[in-house]
């Protein structure tokens, strides 16, 4: 049984991202462990740069050890007003170390990242849809953290919404990827084999920004999406994801 930590509650804006703990336990052998956000915010105000971001990482690493977690999701926006830094660096590092770690207390996305790890042995990039081109099928996806092991190069920037702390602008190799999401009760899965065609770096968006060439993603998102966050995984594995939750 894998124990996944939910540190703080899911963010208030995740209105469609609920989960069914019983189904997750029975079908995926995953237990969700509630952990108070105070276990992180008790750090108090830390340095606003890389040093402070590493303090957050060290605290999360302690929590992983204490609760014997295989993964975690963090209500990270609460850190902005308390710890005065972000969880972006910490989550990037944990993911790179093989511990799936999702933002915003998003359990279904964490489950999807856990599945990615189980199926491919690789971490996933939790990302938001940002732009679509309905004529070409190209889409922009973005987020402020990404596993270090998924990027060719990166630099630190401020977190988009808050304008402070440490976020990551990473550049990914072009090529084959899978865009995937499972719902929190495992009743739905969306997975498509896609191509990453280019990286970009613009303001007014989360800092890591990638363009995908897709086929079915845009009509799915504009009419019946599972949720906001999806996960991008290296290689073509769509069929394996679909079969994994049958």
Partner 1 sequence: MLITLSSSLHKEELALPFELEQSFIDANQVVAVLTGGSEGLFLQQVEAGAITLDRPIYLLASEQSNSLAACCEILSWINQHNGHGQIRTHR
**Residues near partner 1, by CB under 8 A:** 12-17, 77, 128-132, 134, 140, 161-163, 204-206, 221-229
Question: Taking a C-beta distance cutoff of 8 angstroms, is the pair 160, 168 a contact?
Answer: no
- Closest distance of CB 199 from partner 1, Å: 17
Give the residue with the Cβ less far from partner 1, 115 or 205.
205
Radius of gyration of the chain (CA): 17
Give the residue with the Cβ less far from partner 1, 15 or 197.
15
Q: Which two tokens stand for residue 192?
A: 């498509």
Rounded CA gap, 109 and 112, in Å?
5
Rounded CA gap, 134 and 1, in Å?
42
Neighbours of 81 (CB within 10 A): 9
**Distance of CA 140 to CAs 15, 76, 130, 146, 148, Å?**
23, 23, 5, 15, 20
- Closest distance of CB 160 from partner 1, Å: 8
Rounded CA gap, 47 and 122, in Å?
31
- Closest distance of CB 2 from partner 1, Å: 26
- Closest distance of CB 51 from partner 1, Å: 25
Please choose, from the candidates 2, 5, 68, 77, the residue with its C-alpha nearest in 3D space to the C-alpha of residue 35: 5
Say whether 221 sits in a helix, a strand or coil: helix
- Closest distance of CB 29 from partner 1, Å: 26
Give the residue with the Cβ less far from partner 1, 16 or 42.
16
- Closest distance of CB 219 from partner 1, Å: 10
Give the residue with the Cβ less far from partner 1, 82 or 162.
162
Give the residue with the Cβ less far from partner 1, 99 or 146.
146
Helix count and strand count (H, E) for the chain:
8, 12
Give the residue with the Cβ less far from partner 1, 74 or 99.
74
């Amino acid at each position: 049984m894998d124990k996944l930590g939910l540190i703080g509650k899911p963010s208030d804006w995740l209105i469609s991202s609920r989960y069914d703990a019983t189904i997750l336990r029975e079908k995926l052998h995953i237990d969700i462990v509630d952990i108070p956000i105070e276990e992180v915010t008790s750090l108090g105000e830390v340095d606003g740069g890389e040093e402070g971001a590493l303090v957050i990482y060290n605290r999360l690493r302690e929590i992983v050890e204490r609760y014997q977690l295989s993964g975690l999701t963090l209500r990270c926006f609460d850190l902005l007003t308390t710890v005065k830094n972000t969880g972006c660096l910490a989550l990037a590092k944990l993911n790179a170390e093989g511990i799936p770690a999702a933002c915003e207390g998003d359990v279904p996305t964490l489950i999807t990242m856990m599945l990615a790890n189980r199926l491919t042995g690789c971490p996933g990039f939790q990302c938001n849809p940002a732009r679509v081109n309905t004529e070409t099928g190209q889409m922009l996806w973005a987020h402020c953290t990404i596993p270090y092991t998924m990027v060719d190069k990166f630099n630190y920037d401020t977190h988009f919404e808050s304008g402070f702390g440490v976020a990551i602008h990473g550049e990914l190799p072009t090529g084959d990827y899978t865009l995937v999401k499972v719902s929190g009760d495992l009743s739905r899965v969306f997975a498509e084999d896609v191509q990453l065609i280019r990286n970009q770096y613009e303001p007014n968006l989360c800092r890591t920004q990638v363009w995908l060439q897709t086929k079915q993603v845009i009509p799915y998102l504009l009419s019946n999406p599972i949720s906001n966050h999806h996960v991008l995984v290296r290689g073509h594995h769509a069929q394996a994801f679909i079969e994994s939750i049958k």
